Amino acid sequence: MERILIIEDELPMRTVLQDVLAGEGYRILTASDGETGLQRAVDEKPDLILLDVMMPKLDGYAVCAELRRLSNPVPILMLTAKGQVEDRVQGLDVGADDYLVKPFSTEELLARVRAMLRRIQRQTKMPTQLNLGEWRKYRVSPSPASGSWTRSGATRHSRPRAPWTTTLRACAASSSAIPMNHAGSRPSTASGISSKCSAPPPILQKGDNPPGRNASN
């Protein structure tokens, strides 16, 4: 379970926060001043910090700024009674990820904690399976253009293709479904053929002139 560090100098508030978060299953670390909190943040490496602003020794702004100076990416949720716009801006500017003004509800606090922890999980976990209809792609290398496609127990490896290759194949499949006319041919302007079916533009090599421009230009 995620570990949360509470840096709060007021004992009643610190106790309430500890009880609420521990009741949700989080492991709780505490500090009663900014200096102790900064040291615990560096040593313990928590998953999230709840940081009060007005504290002895080091205030919350100084603690947050020092953690960011040390390139510590831990998410920080500031909790403070200072609710003016300039106070919130200052907190966010020194590196806080979110700002919650006292008094606040328990439900809002827990919702913000869950949201911040979800962002951490999204950043640290790479998807291992992509679902594309009835096909599934499993990543087998860091390259997004390689992998294995599986369907009904069968497996085949994918390889990079030019985007227009897939388009032409799709167009060929769609055009084959267009009924023939009385002359035995398919109309070229049938609604089933999209504008994407046009041939791909030529690939220019170094030294070539763009289409419509001759060498004299």
Indicate whether 109 and 157 sit together in one domain. no
Give the tens place of pLDDT for each residue, 4-21: 999 999 999 999 999 999
Indicate whether 114 and 137 sit together in one domain. no
Per-chain mean pLDDT for the chain: 75
- Residue 99: CB atoms within 10 A of its CB come to 21
Indicate whether 153 and 116 sit together in one domain. no
pTM exceeds 0.95 for this model = no
What's the confidence (pLDDT) of residue 1?
85
Least confident range from 24-33, 43-52, 82-91: namely 82-91
Q: What is the rounded average pLDDT of the residues 12-37?
A: 97
* Residues in a beta bridge with 131: 136
Indicate whether 60 and 23 sit together in one domain. yes
What's the confidence (pLDDT) of residue 129?
59
27-31 and 3-7 strand pairing: parallel
Indicate whether 11 and 118 sit together in one domain. yes
**Cα-based distances in Å from 107 to 15, 51, 114:** 17, 18, 11
How many domains does one find in the chain?
2
Give the tens place of pLDDT for each residue, 97-139: 999 999 999 999 999 999 999 988 877 665 555 566 555 554 4
Q: What is the CATH number of the domain that holds 75?
A: 3.40.50.2300
Residue 211 domain-assigned (yes or no):
no
What's the confidence (pLDDT) of residue 113?
97
Q: What is the rounded average pLDDT of the residues 38-62?
A: 96
Identify the residue with better confidence: 175 or 49: 49
**Cα-based distances in Å from 108 to 38, 58, 101, 142, 205:** 25, 27, 11, 38, 59
Tell me which residue range forms the domain holding 45: 3-124
Give the tens place of pLDDT for each residue, 165-182: 444 444 445 445 455 555
67: pLDDT strictly greater than 90: yes
Indicate whether 42 and 114 sit together in one domain. yes
What's the confidence (pLDDT) of residue 121?
83
